[in-house]
Structure 1
Amino acid sequence: MKLALLFLALLLLPAIGPWKSDCGGDVPCALGEWSYHLLAPDEWDGEAALPVLLHFHGWGRQGDLIVKHSRIATHTRNRGVLLLAPNGLGRTWDFRREGSADVDFAAAVIEDAAGMYPIDRDRIYISGYSYGAAMAWRYACDNGWDVAALLAIGGSLPQDTDCATAPQSVRHVHGLADTVMDFPLGPDGDVTYPVALWRDSFGCGDAPRLEEWQAVEWLTLERRTWECDGGTVTLDLHSGGHFIPHGWIGWQLDQLAGRAPRYP
């Protein structure tokens, strides 16, 4: 009941404009008992609709870190993307079950931000790291029909999770030596298992396109791409552990926009 009243109140709030806000950066935007941070891109004409990257923080963190993070915010700022960083209650996320209130909260964050900035509804990207990546998967499973792409880093849901919805594209990166959110190795050592859920949902075949790529010279990623009936699934693997790879988010945003990837 409390959640329903919150979202009803949001619908009755007047829109703030023209495209300005009294919150942003370190100053959180309040949403009932929740809050979130936002960061507009550096070069924006004040009129063009903005792609959105909603990024869920890792366990024990908050959105103020995300809007200052060099491997996240740097890439959205110089690519014309509006960054939204929700704050999880208790600095964590409820991602293990269907019907999580955090899914409704994140959807409300997008609508609240749309009252302050013009957003491009065709380019809403949901991202996250660690526990936040698992929450991004949960969002895509429960509210994914309007999600252009899921960008998940070092975290997921069990591959037998029943998802009612799906994003248009999935991009997942995971370190083979990750022992925090353990690399989900499949039967018989199958390294493609971290995206088995989406491959099954999208009707993918068994033979992905394989290539290697680098955003920075000190980290090589091995990429597998499935072009499927229901969308595209991409899995990037590296030999490291539990971290956000340098340049990874920027490269995904560039490729989703049809641009040649660059760093930073």
Structure 2
Amino acid sequence: MQSRGLPHVAGLMLAFFLFPGAASAQQVCGDAETPCRVESGSYHLILPESEPAGIVMHLHGGGSTGKAMLNSDLARVSVARGYVFVAPNGEHPEARWTKDWSVRADNTRHDRDDAVFLQTVIADVRDRFRLADAPFVLAGFSRGGSMVWDMACRLPEFADAYAPVAGAFWDSLPERCAGPVRLFHAHGWTDRTVPLEGRSFRDGTVVQGDVWASLKVLRETNRCGNRQPETSSFEGEYWLRHWTDCEAGQIDLLLHKGGHTAPTGWADTILDWFEGLSLKQL
């Protein structure tokens, strides 16, 4: 992955203790009623009580809002573990779906380029709350998960790692991404809203992409040595597959027995994964 990389968590925390002003900005916006505003939209945010260990940004599903994400399990777990939780608003007031993300290749008109918007949001968060070097993971659910895949593919240096759930590329899929990334995808085995194989709308003019095909694109971009994962395992109700022989980046897949939802314990699982990445050489 061609990025600044993830610092060791212990080293990061030591830096905060040595330089306590690094993340001591007061929260003046971001709560449920007072979102932080940037040129092209708004976002919500929760600061932890301790010095931040990093940033978790979560993109809501279609029809939802950043405000609703403030009460999510990921928000609660992230803040409890010392992360700044950021929840942007997908806003397209003149589009067919107003609370949505401008997912590429979905044959739908959007009011703004959300790749640009999300870059504006993270720049504002880092500047406003003095988090210039904080490690950052981008997560998202459903349409938000598809936007995570798009960001990982188009702008691999945007985040240190990516954690989409229940959403992947839409057709037509990119042939190749801009660079390798570390991505942990989660999906329900019985998901009928975003099936693993995708589905079509509007007489076939809009097509959800196939998760397996999305993974193939990323394996080729990451230059993984084999089509099959190096390891597979079961952990409770999790079915896990790991591609760890890639020349750059890493791909992890979690399948669960549920439908269109994040699996139980997903928030802690992705943060454990993210913190584990920080202990490895890039």
> TM-score of the superposition, structure 1-length normalised?
0.79
- Indicate whether 1:20 and 2:26 are aligned: yes
Query: Of 191, 197, 212, which residue of structure 1 is paired with 2:217?
Result: 197
- Indicate whether 1:35 and 2:42 are aligned: yes
Q: 1:158 to 1:230 in 2, by over 3 A?
A: farther
Relative contact order, CA 8 A, sep 6+: which one is greater? 2
The SS at the match of 1:119 is coil
Rounded to whole Å, the distance in 1 between the matches of 2:176 and 2:227 is: 21
Q: Which residue number corresponds to residue 104 of structure 2? A: 96
- RMSD value, Cα: 2.5
The SS at the match of 2:233 is strand
- Indicate whether 1:170 and 2:183 are aligned: yes
**Structure 1 residue 249 displacement after superposition:** 2.2
Q: 1:75 to 1:167 in 2, by over 3 A?
A: farther
Number of residues of Structure 1 aligned to a counterpart in Structure 2: 229
**Structure 1 residue 192 displacement after superposition:** 4.8
Q: 1:75 to 1:54 in 2, by over 3 A?
A: same
Rounded to whole Å, the distance in 2 between the matches of 1:95 and 1:52 is: 23
Deviations 1:127-154 (A, max 9, x none): 1000000011111122222421110100
The SS at the match of 1:74 is helix
> TM-score of the superposition, structure 2-length normalised?
0.74
Q: Which residue number corresponds to residue 233 of structure 1? A: 251
**Structure 1 residue 244 displacement after superposition:** 1.3
**Structure 1 residue 253 displacement after superposition:** 0.9
Q: Residue 174 of structure 2 aligns to which amino acid in structure 1? A: T
Rounded to whole Å, the distance in 2 between the matches of 1:196 and 1:83 is: 31
Deviations 1:126-185 (A, max 9, x none): 110000000111111222224211101000104831454345311001112111111127
Instruction: Determine if contact 2:145/2:166 at 8 Å carries over to the other structure.
Output: yes
**Structure 1 residue 120 displacement after superposition:** 5.8
Query: Runs of 4+ in structure 1 displaced over 3 angstroms?
Result: 97-100, 190-194
Of 144-153 and 130-139, deviating more is 144-153
Q: 1:199 to 1:164 in 2, by over 3 A?
A: closer
Deviations 1:201-234 (A, max 9, x none): 11221331001124xxxxx010000011121100
Gapped runs of 5+ residues in structure 1? Answer: 1-16, 215-219, 260-264
Higher strand share: 1
